[in-house]
Amino acid sequence: MFDLRHLEHSTIIYEDPAHTPLLRLAWNKQDPNYLATVAMDACEVIILDVRVPCTPVARLNNHRACVNGIAWAPHSSVHICTAGDDHQALIWDVQQMPRAIEDPILAYTAAEGEINQIQWGATQPDWIAICYNKCLEILRV
């Protein structure tokens, strides 16, 4: 993380212990202290608090295959959706952080493919769009 007023100084917010490249990053739209990231070929999402560098505040690890997408709710600081190669889109309530988050509050299974992209509607917070194979589905939450 860089301060544009002092570019000679930076803070490392998180570094994967196995030095695996981080593929996705999503800022919490309601609470800018939190962000989520996922490493290449990882089955878990790491939630970070920029005020506490290098220490994840939560790990979301119910996916059974690689995670491909993460999207914070545009209307809530405690909801995030994750999607992956296990055909699952999972919605989590992370209000308990830093206590462990065991299970998602909602799950959707794409019938015919690995979910490779997810987007939570910015102006329509009741809708989530997912892409898999040659399909786009818009889901009401």
Set out the domains of the chain in order of their start, with CATH numbers. 22-140 (2.130.10.10)
pLDDT of residue 100 exceeding 90: no
pTM of the model: 0.90
Per-chain mean pLDDT for the chain: 93
Residue 9 has a pLDDT of 83
pLDDT of residue 7 exceeding 90: no
pLDDT of residue 111 exceeding 90: no
| Integer Cα distance of 107 and 37 in angstroms | 20
Residue 76 has a pLDDT of 94
Strand partners, 89: 83, 108
| Integer Cα distance of 92 and 34 in angstroms | 14
pLDDT in tens, 31-90: 999 999 999 999 999 999 999 988 999 999 999 999 999 999 999 999 999 999 999 999
Residue 41 has a pLDDT of 94
pLDDT of residue 12 exceeding 90: no
| Integer Cα distance of 13 and 34 in angstroms | 11
Residue 84 class from Cβ within 10 Å (0-12 exposed, 13-18 middle, 19+ buried)?
A: buried
Residue 36 has a pLDDT of 97
| DSSP 8-state class, residue 51 | T
What value does the mean pLDDT take over residues 117-136?
Answer: 93
